[in-house]
Structure 1
Amino acid sequence: MTGAERHFDGGTETGSADGLERLWTPHRMTYISGEDRPEGGYEKPTGCPFCLAPGLPPEQSLVVARGERVYAVLNLYPYNPGHLLVCPYRHVADYTELDPDETIELGVFTQTAMRVVRKVSNAHGFNLGMNQGGVAGAGIAAHLHQHVVPRWGGDANFMPVIGRTKVLPQLLTDTRDLFAQAWPS
């Protein structure tokens, strides 16, 4: 079905053509619907993807780099290509729960992530931030994570603005490999 098709119910039009093309991404429905949420939810470390990721193989976890207290991982549902998350290993929900060493390493990893993304993909700028709590937009509120979202001049071009389509030109595993290779030892 395309955006140009109309739906009729008993001869009465219930929808109208909007002229938009559709780029189907059915893999995102598990995220939107919560189908892939663990039985106990994200609140418990046994079901938290940020607690589980460091123990998985790199191609499955998308972990780019590991520190003593935090690690960097690609966002499985990125806003832009190269969207990284910096996460403490410890399962904490709020920034105020980090100890001083975790706070420092989170900041250093965020700086390193920015340098790596600039080196690998020539990002022009970044959006950095944490959504603290579900009401603030945190999809997984139980485990703190810092977003590092690369931006380029024109990245909010006609595709998302007019075409209502986001283009991600590289597979996440390929991006992970490039970032991991560029991350300083």
Structure 2
Amino acid sequence: MPPEKTTQKARSDSARASLLKAGRALFGRDGFISTAVNDISAAAGMSKSGLLHHFPSKAALFEAVFEEEEMRLVARVAAEAGGAPNARERMRQGARALLDALNDAMSRQIVLIDGPAVLGWAVWRRIEGDHGIALIEATLREAQAEGSLARLPGSAFSRMFLSALHEGAFSIIEDETQRPAVEIMLDQMIEGLFDRG
């Protein structure tokens, strides 16, 4: 690639990263509806037209922020659960790590509150499938390879388990004393899956 193209790409990548960072901060703090495009562009140090050059709309920027947040959450969960001795325990530790991560106000606003409402069901479901669901299904395949799960349960279980995690996070946000009960219910889902083989 010619040097001028490399420099132009680096500038474009840097501008995009600045917009994603500013978008996450403002969407996470104020929510999608209350965040203005002008505020995001100013926080990123560029004009509104500069923002619209990279993202055609506020919703398009939010989608990119949402997907980046999903990747961030999956990376955190994988890192925190990665040292567990087996897939069953990785699922247990991963569930707890996601509950912790969703206790962060910014992640909660982007992923749980605005994500489904702003993106719509089809886009939200696709992105969840590419990240959170993919991690659950990978862990289940690891369990099968280890011999602790005789057959895979299908994608319905992964979606139901992630939905239970999201609802559990909401319950804990509303009343943190619910955390032990939420963990027990999630453990029962995991144990029920493995017990059936």
Query: Larger helix proportion, structure 1 or 2?
Result: 2
Instruction: Provide the TM-score with structure 1 as the length reference.
Output: 0.30
Instruction: Provide the TM-score with structure 2 as the length reference.
Output: 0.28
Query: Larger strand proportion, structure 1 or 2?
Result: 1
